[in-house]
Amino acid sequence: MKWSAAAEPAGGRKVVTLGVGGVLSCLDAATGKELWRKDEYPKVVPRFFAAMSPIIVDGMAIAQVGGQGNGAIMAFDLATGNPKWKWADEGPAYASPALLTVAGTKQIVTLTEKSVVGVGVADGKLLWQIPFAPQGMAYNAATPIIDGQTVIYTGQGRGTKAVKIEKQGDGFAAKELWSNADNRTQFNTPVLKDGLLYGLSDKGTLFCLNAQTGQMAWADTNKFGTFGAILDSGSVIIALTEKSGLIAFKPGDKQYEELAKIKISDASIYAHPVIVGNRIFVKDQDAVTLWTLE
């Protein structure tokens, strides 16, 4: 499987993908023609292979490449593929990068193998760093959530936390806003909607947190498995779970209210689904299926 990001620069639409082997490729979106390909760390990947999406910012494709103890966050010129900058203090985890702007400075925020970091988009210099090393069999796999100057991040066994990134002199600092030790995810990224954070916990239950305070609004008692995905589909939140298929539930902080449940496949599902209008594409271990939401 490949994870992709699309952009429409002056030269036409391009698609950038990061393959499971850590190879970054740029394709012409109209024809599929390969425009450039980079393999900066040949045969070096995380333990469970590359599993993050590159991000397109200011004419650059930015991705985490390499593996444990030997990797980097790198920026490549979108037009040519030429490297622009590299931050190589830590190797990648499985989370995707997000974009944050504070005091006019654009920052790439991501979870690395041992930290949460913010690096400058312009030059790749480290702006701030928070230790967040996994414990035991945990992994940094959830993409950080950006809400204004707030960064929300989560990891198995370490809770869900929020920090505010502030300008401090010539640099930046992360100020902790709240920490919820009981609700955290392992193999999915929570969704922020209307001040509420929805996720599938490392215990296999769906939960909702107040994104301003970190306090739990509700947690259901069903066990759906720890692999899954949470998506904002407008009037409903959709969860694609390892054991129970596709679940639609009502957003809100009062209680968990399940609206529908559909068995998608008998095979395990690990890939993130794609919603396009009222259609949802789901890939299991054997096939890709298309479902229509009504």
Each residue's pLDDT tens digit, 68-99: 999 999 999 999 999 999 999 999 999 999 99
Do the domain assignments include residue 194? Answer: yes
Q: Residue 108 domain-assigned?
A: no
| Residue 251 near residue 289 (C-beta atoms within 8 A) | no
Q: Are 27 and 45 in contact (CB under 8 A)?
A: no
CA angle (285, 17, 56) in 5-degree steps = 135
Is the pLDDT at 9 greater than 70, yes or no? no
| Whole-angstrom distance, CA of residue 159 vs CA of residue 166 | 22
Could you tell me if residue 163 is inside a domain? no
Q: What is the CATH number of the domain that holds 231?
A: 2.40.128.630
- Mean pLDDT along residues 30-58: 96
Structural domain range at position 281 = 186-294
175-209, pLDDT tens digit by residue? 999 999 999 998 899 999 999 999 999 988 999 99
Q: Is residue 126 part of a domain?
A: no
Give the number of domains in the chain. 1
Residues 245-282: pLDDT tens digits?
889 999 999 999 999 898 888 887 888 888 888 899 99
- Residue 284 inside a domain? The answer is yes
Beta bridge mates, 172:
167
Give the separation between CA 23 and CA 19, rounded to whole angstroms: 5
What is the pLDDT at residue 221? 84
CA distance linking residue 123 with residue 101, whole number of Å: 14
105 falls within a domain: no
Residues 6+ away with beta carbon under 8 Å from 89: 126
**149, part of any domain:** no
Is 171 among the domain residues?
no
